[in-house]
Amino acid sequence: MKVHILAAITLMALSTPVFASGNVAKGATIFHMCQACHSIIGPNGKAIVRGGKIGPNLYGVIGRRAASEPGFHYGAGIIEAGKKGLVWNQKEIATYVKDPTKYLQQYTGDKGAHSNMPFKLQGGGGADVAAYLASVAH
Ligand code: HEC
């Protein structure tokens, strides 16, 4: 009997989208700040969130190699991180948005590395915004 309950719970967990620890609704609100620079443009050019063009399109960013959005002109620091194998997941994005330059310095091991993203998400919410990004494209 116990086994059956466990199996049922596992099935439920698999069938409802699991977005790690973040709150998607809160993340959507936080994304309004990101929207100044980032759009979310789905396949076929469909705008899910119309935003700025200073930053790369964030559609499908989870699971995407860092600095790999075609046509976007990235800075050297994030290109280096991508070459070193950085693939975005929710945990990495949650950390990155708190302090992108510090994140790139730690990831690349290069104290001179610099991010071109002129924004730091202060006061928490990184996990929420990462969960939101996962929820719009999966
Ligand atoms: C003031 C503009 C600006 C704001 C606000 C901003 N970003 Fe960015 N973002 C950028 C730029 C520019 C880059 C490219 C960084 C580089 O080339 O070093 C970037 C890169 C990124 C990347 C890496 C994407 C890739 O293709 O590798 C992620 C993820 C990201 N931003 C998430 C966010 C999130 C989430 C927020 C809101 C919490 C946010 N950004 C707010 C400008 C911004």
Query: Is 80 exceeded by the pLDDT of residue 11?
Result: no
Q: Which homologous superfamily is 21-136 in?
A: Cytochrome c-like domain (1.10.760.10)
Domain extent listing, the chain: 21-136
Report pLDDT for 4: 63
* pLDDT, tens digit (0-9, with 9 covering 90-100), for 100-113: 999 999 999 999 99
d(CA 61, CA 57) in angstroms, rounded, equals 8
Report pLDDT for 15: 46
**Is residue 35 in contact with ligand 1, taking CB distance under 6 Å?**
no
**Is residue 55 in contact with ligand 1, taking CB distance under 6 Å?**
yes
For residues 23-50, give the mean pLDDT.
96
Nearest-atom number in ligand 1 for the CA of 115 is 18
Confidence of residue 16 (pLDDT cuts 50, 70, 90): very low
From residue 94, alpha-carbon distances to 8, 73, 88 in Å are: 31, 22, 10
Tell me if 66 sits within 8 A of 82, measured CB to CB: yes
* pLDDT, tens digit (0-9, with 9 covering 90-100), for 48-91: 999 999 999 999 999 999 999 999 999 999 999 999 999 999 99
d(CA 105, CA 15) in angstroms, rounded, equals 38
Report pLDDT for 106: 98
